[in-house]
Structure 1
Amino acid sequence: MTTIYLIRHGQASFGAANYDQLSNKGEQQATLLGRYLAKVLKEPPYVYAGTMQRHQQTAQLALAESFPELALKSDQAWNEFHHQQVFAKFDDRFNKPDELKLAILQEKNPRAYLASIFDQAIERWIGNEFDHEYDESWTAFSTRVNGAFDALCADLAEQQPRYSVVFSSGGVISTIVGHLLGLDAKSIFQLNWSIANTSITTIRLKGNDRQLLSLNEHHFIKAENADLLTWI
């Protein structure tokens, strides 16, 4: 039996020219995550990560605090969907990240405004009518992510480690959880919006059986420093 820890990356640099780089808060979150993993994992895990910079940085910082000797397996199948393109196809003002950030900060309730944009942009993407406009359609993304999870489970069934840790993104984690729970695409992305940076979602793998154990655990951050808790 293996417990799989699906971990969202630390806070990225929203509105910056390079979103994919962790912010200062993101680095602190990843360090706290690593210290927590050192406490709860009783033996070295089998570790995977997406190839995005924020995945790699989160993994490296966390592993430095917990299992610095471990080799990190990287696979682009664990990468997030192209969120900037999804925003831009909904409203071309958002082709530039700084314009998106400025528009959000001018609102009375920036988080609610971003949530509204997110919902509308995602609804357009998952609707299939405009698939030809995106580098990767929702159907293609979902197929890729669930294929990556199937491949991971097959690998773990052969290796049989006690733990596996995967560093990825909120859309990836929500898609896997949604598939396990039989959620539709809209419900999956409502779930995505709630997943905190460096939060942990756990799944138990026993033979071919996959059981969701926990979702979006982030108490280890809140208990240490609630100001470090972020969702964007």
Structure 2
Amino acid sequence: MNFQKNKDEVFQAVANATEEAHRPQNSVKIIAVTKYVDSSIAKDLLKTGIEHIGENRVDKFLEKYEALADLKLTWHLIGSLQRRKVKDIINYLDYFHALDSVKLAAEIQKRANKPIKCFLQVNVSKEESKHGFMVEDIHQAIETIKNYDKIELVGLMTMAPFGADADQLKDIFSKTHALQKELQQLGIANMPFTELSMGMSGDFKEAIANGSTFVRIGTAFFK
């Protein structure tokens, strides 16, 4: 597996998509999702010059956090987080992408010893199998969360349905972008809502065209 070649191809593809969307270069950050590989393989990839690492599960995150301590990385938890596990991981995170309930926010507020950059997970597609706030419930949720000084809502995260076509992707990503802009206009101190976490290996081009600032890429690095 040629990690340098894969890394260069992914970064070039993201750069091309950013240019096609008439957006500034470096306006999209690439998170290498390493959930499919062990720490030694992840390290080989990250040494190619990747700065952001993402994991889905608490146990795998903590394992890699310890094993890769000698690398300067920005750490993202991109998967669901059970409230009972918040205390184990929250203070190691730079970004948490799946804040999906007010109860989880309350637990983070209780356990964090620093402000945590969080994305509200929004279920724009209304899939029953997906976590996240329904759009109509977000304003009520942020009325509570705005009182939590250990949570900084930097933006929204969403995922498109598996197998979504181009029209579906555009619909979901554009609606999430519009919602992000709406929430940004509220001007709440700990809720800048400047970021969008959207797009994976198969749909990052559509996500970037609709405002994504963080793309979560796994399989394209390990082909």
Q: Give the number of the structure whose residues are more often helix, by fraction.
A: 1
Structure number with the bigger relative contact order (C-alpha 8 A, sep ≥ 6) is 1
Q: Same fold, TM exceeding 0.5?
A: no
Report the TM-score, using the length of structure 1 for normalisation.
0.30
Report the TM-score, using the length of structure 2 for normalisation.
0.31
